[in-house]
Amino acid sequence: MHSLPLISSQKAVPDEALVDFEIPADLTLADYLQDFLSLLTSHPGSFELEIVQFTEMMNGWVNTDDALQEVVEIIYQQATTVPNFTYTGARLCNYLSQNLTINPRNSNFRQLLLQRCQTEYAKRDEAVKGDEKTRKKFHSFVLFLGELYLNLEVKGPNGAPTRADILQTGLCELLNSLLSQPMDDNLICAVKLLKLTGSVLEDAWKGQGKSDMDEIIQRIENVVLDSNCSRDVKQMLLKLVELRSSNWGRVHTAATYNEATPENDPNYYMNEPVFYSAEGIPLTPADPDYLEKYQEMIDREELFQGYSDEDGDAYLDDSENEMDPEMEEAFEKFCAETEKKRN
């Protein structure tokens, strides 16, 4: 693979390492794009430094619909196969959807991206019932679509940037599909998606007078009571219900919930936790250490991750079905409260 001539091999991403360059004659569009995606994967903080020059290069290179389609597919594959690239991939898609142009403009980046997502979306009801490999691929798509919903901007009726309603509707249907087949990995994916987008989705639905989140939480409560999922997954679901009951864990000091805006609340869009460097400086999602710390938090909360490398068995050995006293007490309380609602 070619290495990007954007960055000196001696340093990570400092300004002084940027150099002028010409594209080697044997470097293809796919090679150049893949090298750039690899750079962003290993150095997410280089996004702001490199994105303008990268887009200028792409605008000079992508001059056919086929080339644009190739760009969309390469980015999509990277974002759905490399977990650490999902968030950065969504940011990249938003930037390119606004700044990547081709002539003649028979299609555009956002249109082709959404069409690519639609292809996977259409398979949802079969994917949640598929084999382990199929489900794992589908779950990666679901989480990428969640990041796209948070990061992809479209023009609203008044010309101001807003989120794409079509993705909001899609996420609701994806959650319903996941919950319709309550296998452990489907439920874990639903939990991750709701932790990522739940607060934003609920705010949007409430603004439209919809009760979609109430219906989703009700389905989750039914799963906890009626499904045969593992005790650890039930615990995750209970924690999610509790998180939602606390307004998704949002605590606003300088601004109340109703007053929160992207300008006065740095966590408005993502509703993500705040991590700090060794020097006590808050990290942003663009910082290289952020994703690592976020993944560590998820691993610690969920007690397990991914699939077994050896035999492909799901997340934990479920030979011990006894709940610990704390969880048993919480589960009994939950069951009693839910039975009251049913009656």
**Domain ranges in the chain?**
1-115, 123-246+293-306+329-343
Share of the chain above pLDDT 70, in %: 65
Structural class in CATH, domain 1-115: mainly alpha
DSSP letters for 67-126: HHHHHHHHHHHHHHH-GGGHHHHHHHHHHHHHH---SS-SS-HHHHHHHHHHHHHTTHHH
pLDDT of residue 315: 34
Encoded amino acid at 187, one letter? L
Model's pTM, two decimal places? 0.71
pLDDT of residue 162: 86
Residues 6+ apart with CB under 8 A from 79: 85, 86, 89, 90, 93, 144, 147
Residues 153, 143, 120, 61, CA torsion sign? positive
Tens-digit pLDDT profile for residues 83-96: 899 999 999 999 99
Tens-digit pLDDT profile for residues 111-161: 999 999 999 999 999 999 999 999 999 999 999 999 999 999 988 888 788
Query: Worst-scoring range by mean pLDDT, 9-18, 63-72, 242-251, 279-288?
Result: 9-18
Encoded amino acid at 284, one letter? T
Res 334 pLDDT > 90: no
- Distance separating alpha carbons of residues 299 and 171, to the nearest angstrom: 24
CATH number listed for the domain at residues 123-246+293-306+329-343: 1.25.40.180
Same topology, domains 1-115 and 123-246+293-306+329-343? Answer is yes
